Amino acid sequence: MSAVLEATGLGKRYGKRWALSDCTLDIPAGHVVGLVGPNGAGKTTLLNLAAGQLAPTTGSITVLGGRPGSGPAQLAKVGFVAQDTPTYAGLTVGEHLTLGARLNPGWDGSVARQRIERLGLDPKQRAGTLSGGQRAQLALTLGVAKRPELLILDEPVASLDPLARREFLQGLMEAAAEQELSVVLSSHLVSDLERACDYLIVLVESRVRVTGAVEELLATHHRLTGPRRDLDRLPADQHVVSESHTDRQSTLIVRAGGPIHDPAWTVSQLSLEDLVLAYMNSASAPAHRPILEVQR
């Protein structure tokens, strides 16, 4: 399967600050990819680079085999719903569809009209008077109806109420199923992404911490609990992601190449949220942190 997004050493700097550094990714097509990370981690920067809204400072990025934003053909292949789902407040819903039709050769008017009808949006209503959820759906319609191969969404549900959030994700997944889209969607909450994503990228403090298919990640990461012990006695193929210790007990989150044989450890499964949190915690810890002790 060809890659939908490939990045090598990708970096973006604003003045002195690196918003994204040393980012290397190889994301296969046909997945719904979740990009998770705390606020300020660089998610918006990465997505804007992929959509061709920004140019990299260092490194390279290729989307669907082409340089992002490099011309109408490339732009037609990628749909983008930016943060806060921008729409023209002065234009009506119907006029937004006209915008899409006039500016995109690949526009599918029937898809757009059907979605608008099903959502119950009034074509004559100005976008500025729509609710947040309706605006998000309008922006999604614009992104989907131009029939892209990849749809990128930057925190589309962050400011929506739970019902609007569910409806948005339903609409998104339906479009993904119908058009066989690849989707990359970001959020700072794992719960938004858990149902929809089958591929994950964790971004913390401008760097990629882990990336892979969700199933594989959950299968290879485990929580190990057991009596307190030194960590340099672990087998080579087990890599500690995060750790915490009391005076009697050690709890580790490890990524393991194979099964864990050591009987001293109790092995338990991780939820996706636990996994992401483990990587976020390990990122914020300095390299040589003294072992956390709970003194009695």
Interface contacts to other proteins, rule CB under 8 A:
30-32, 48, 51-55, 69, 71-73, 75-76, 78-80, 82-84, 86-91, 95, 98-100, 102-106, 139, 142-143, 146, 166, 169-174, 176-178, 194-198, 215, 269
Q: Which is nearer to other proteins, 54 or 283 (CB)?
A: 54
* 252-261 contacts, C-beta under 8 A, 24 or more apart: 252/223, 252/224, 252/225, 253/221, 253/222, 253/223, 253/224, 253/278, 254/221, 254/222, 254/224, 255/210, 255/220, 255/221, 256/220, 256/221, 256/222, 257/220, 260/222, 260/224
Q: Please, what is the minimum distance in Å from the beta carbon of residue 170 to other proteins?
A: 5
Q: Which is nearer to other proteins, 167 or 243 (CB)?
A: 167
Q: Please, what is the minimum distance in Å from the beta carbon of residue 11 to other proteins?
A: 14
Q: Are 116 and 123 in contact (CB under 8 A)?
A: yes
The DSSP bridge partners found for residue 25 are: 7
Q: Which is nearer to other proteins, 83 or 281 (CB)?
A: 83
3-state secondary structure of 18: strand
DSSP state for residue 128 in the 8-state scheme: G
Q: Please, what is the minimum distance in Å from the beta carbon of residue 295 to other proteins?
A: 35
Residue 80: exposed, middle, or buried by beta-carbon count in 10 A (0-12, 13-18, 19+)?
buried
Q: Please, what is the minimum distance in Å from the beta carbon of residue 6 to other proteins?
A: 20
Q: Which is nearer to other proteins, 82 or 253 (CB)?
A: 82
Q: Please, what is the minimum distance in Å from the beta carbon of residue 142 to other proteins?
A: 7
Q: Which is nearer to other proteins, 181 or 283 (CB)?
A: 181
Within 8 A by CB and 6+ apart from 272, the residues are 190, 193, 194, 200, 214, 217, 218
Q: Please, what is the minimum distance in Å from the beta carbon of residue 245 to other proteins?
A: 27
Q: Which is nearer to other proteins, 92 or 238 (CB)?
A: 92
